[in-house]
Structure formats: structure tokens, C-alpha cells
């Protein structure tokens, strides 16, 4: 009697409200998205499971579609796993999709295209129902100036000035395909940024820098100087985590 079950690799598409979590990646003694996924998967399949995350978002950052990959020998069809997991997960984490991928697929060793949104409320008082999902400022912001500044960031650049210390990467060159500055509502500005990868805190530093331009402290053209300086101190502050959401994550190569 053979007891060998073929192991398969599963990719989950995960949405979450990051408010209550210390980020995606597992940490001892702190609630994280990864810990919740590992716990629910291990309970469900009665074997120890550890996921590999796609984007290791920071504490308080939200996601509509992060990814996580794991191996299992469970017989449950891949596409049913999302429903079974959603029964066990807390309501601030939801699996949108579960699917089988190629054996060797690794979510961070592939060409990807990610889109982040950064939401800003600019009004004379904060809006309570948006406080967990947007950064509030009482400063009036000039959207046209922010748009002109954003143009300097599109394309392939060395984004060293837009990377927090403590990051260990081979190169700080990245490509931004698109950076929109949208006036969503009277008091709401949305930055939507798509790129092939982002450095540590890069989107939040871009948001903090565009806010400095929007409020009139810097001219839009100053972005060029910041890029050329390759010095984090030249850019604006890191805008708060709550305004940030990973909204799209796609794999360019058909490797899975």
C-alpha cells in the first residue's frame, strides 16, 4: 500500500485590512498576516504549513491582492481552499482566490508589476470614517503641482533618495510605469503608482514628497534634484502607513 500523495504548490490572493497587524511578515509576539495564514492553513490541512509572501507590507498597510504561496499534499481541490480558509480567518483577512501553480514558482523571484494606491484627505477637519484608510492633512494641496512633480518620477531611475535606511538590496534602480494623481472627491486625493518593484518605504516617501510639493514648500522640478542626489535626506518625510494599499499584483511571465 503506497502512502505517497503528490504535493502541490498553491497560490493565494489575499486581501486584508492592515490596521490590527504588525505587517505581513511573521514576527514573534506580534499579530501578522503571515501568522494568521499559517495558523489557519495548518489547522485546515492538519500539517504544519508556512506560506511565502509576495509583498511584505509594513504594519498598518492594507492590501486588496497580495499573494502567498505554500505546498500541501491535501486532496482538497485548489479552487475550494479559499472558501474553507475564509471560514477560519478573522474578518479583516480574506482569500479572494486559491489556485495551483507550477512546482518551482516563487512569488518574489519573478517579474512582477505591482500597483499601490496612497490616499490623502486634505480638509479642515479629519473624516472619522476614513481615518484608518487615508492620511489626513489640514494643509491645502495643489493637485496640479503634484501632477507635474509626479512626471519626474515616471520611468527608470535610481530611487536611492526614496528608500529608507535598513534596506538591503543589490540595486536601487526601479521602473515606475505610471504615477497618477487623482482628485477623487473634493477633499480626497489618490496617488496610483505602478512599477516593477518598490524599495523599502518607497511609495510612502514618494507620497510624503508629493505632499511637500502640493503644499507649496517645493517646486515640482525639485524632484529631479532629489533623484540626482541619491540621498534619502533630500526627499520628503515617509507618509503614514494607513494611507497605503497594495491594489494589484501581477506576474508578467507565464511561469505558473
Report the catalytic residues.
58
Chosen residue from 42, 76, 92, 143 binding a copy of itself by CB under 8 A: 92
Contact pick of 9, 11, 12, 16 for a copy of itself (by CB under 8 A): 16
> What backbone torsions phi and psi does residue 101 show, to the nearest 5 degrees?
-125, 170
Would you say 44 and 88 are in contact if contact means Cβ atoms under 8 Å apart? Answer: yes
Tell me, residue by residue from 152 to 191, as one string, x for binding to a copy of itself by CB under 8 A and - for no binding.
----------------------------------------
Alpha carbon 237 to chain centroid, angstroms: 18
**Contact between 51 and 41 (Cβ < 8 Å):** yes
Number of chain positions touching a copy of itself (CB under 8 A): 22
Q: How far is the CB of 91 from a copy of itself (least distance, A)?
A: 6
Please name the residues in contact with 122: beta carbons below 8 A apart, sequence gap of 6 or more: 136, 137, 138, 139, 140, 141, 187, 188, 189, 214
Minimal distance in Å, beta carbon 95 to a copy of itself? Answer: 7
Question: Binding of a copy of itself at residue 40 (CB under 8 A)?
Answer: no
Does residue 127 bind a copy of itself (CB under 8 A)?
yes
Buried b (16+ CB within 10 A) or exposed e, 106-144: ebeeeebebbbbbbbbbbeeeeeebeebbbbbeeebeee
Shortest separation between residue 12's beta carbon and a copy of itself, angstroms: 12
Residue 51 exposed, middle or buried by CB count within 10 Å (0-12, 13-18, 19+):
buried
Least distance (Å) from a copy of itself to the CB of residue 19?
9
By the rule CB under 8 A, 125 interacts with a copy of itself:
yes
Q: What are the grid coordinates assigned to 57, written together?
A: 507590507
Left if phi > 0, otherwise alpha if psi is -120 to 50, otherwise beta: which for 105?
Answer: beta
**Does residue 17 bind a copy of itself (CB under 8 A)?**
yes
Interface positions, 100-119, toward a copy of itself (CB under 8 A): none
**Member of 82, 115, 161, 238 binding a copy of itself (CB under 8 A):** 82
CB of 37 to a copy of itself, least distance (A): 13
Determine which residue in the list 76, 105, 113, 133 makes contact with a copy of itself, applying CB under 8 A.
Answer: 133
Radius of gyration of the chain (CA): 20
Instruction: Pick the piece of the chain touching a copy of itself (CB under 8 A) from 68-76, 100-108, 120-128, 212-220.
Output: 120-128
Separation between Cα atoms, residue 179 and residue 188, nearest integer Å: 16
Q: Give the binding site for a copy of itself (CB under 8 A).
A: 15-17, 62, 64, 82, 86, 91-96, 124-129, 131, 133, 245
Amino acid at each position: 500500500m503506497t502512502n505517497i500523495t503528490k504535493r502541490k504548490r498553491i497560490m493565494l490572493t489575499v486581501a486584508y485590512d492592515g490596521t490590527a497587524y504588525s505587517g505581513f511578515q511573521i514576527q514573534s509576539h506580534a499579530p501578522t498576516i503571515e501568522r494568521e495564514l499559517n495558523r489557519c492553513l495548518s489547522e485546515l490541512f492538519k500539517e504544519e504549513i508556512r506560506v511565502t509572501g509576495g509583498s511584505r507590507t509594513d504594519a498598518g498597510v492594507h492590501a486588496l491582492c497580495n499573494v502567498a504561496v505554500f505546498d500541501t499534499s491535501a486532496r482538497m481541490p485548489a479552487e475550494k481552499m479559499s472558501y474553507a480558509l475564509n471560514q477560519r480567518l478573522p474578518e479583516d483577512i480574506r482569500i479572494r482566490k486559491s489556485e495551483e501553480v507550477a512546482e518551482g514558482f516563487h512569488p518574489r523571484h519573478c517579474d512582477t508589476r505591482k500597483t499601490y494606491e496612497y490616499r490623502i484627505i486634505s480638509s479642515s477637519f479629519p473624516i472619522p470614517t476614513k481615518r484608518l484608510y487615508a492620511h489626513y492633512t489640514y494643509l491645502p494641496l495643489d493637485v496640479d503641482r503634484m501632477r507635474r512633480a509626479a512626471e519626474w518620477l515616471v520611468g527608470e531611475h535610481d530611487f536611492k533618495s526614496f528608500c529608507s535606511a535598513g534596506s538591503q538590496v543589490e540595486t536601487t534602480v526601479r521602473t515606475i510605469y505610471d504615477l497618477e494623481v487623482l482628485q477623487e472627491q473634493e477633499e480626497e486625493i489618490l496617488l496610483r503608482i505602478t512599477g516593477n518593484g518598490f524599495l523599502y518605504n518607497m511609495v510612502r516617501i514618494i507620497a510624503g514628497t508629493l505632499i511637500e510639493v502640493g503644499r507649496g514648500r517645493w517646486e515640482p522640478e525639485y524632484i529631479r534634484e532629489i533623484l540626482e542626489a541619491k540621498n534619502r535626506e533630500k526627499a520628503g518625510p515617509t507618509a503614514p502607513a494607513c494611507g497605503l494599499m497594495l491594489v494589484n499584483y501581477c506576474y508578467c511571465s507565464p511561469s505558473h
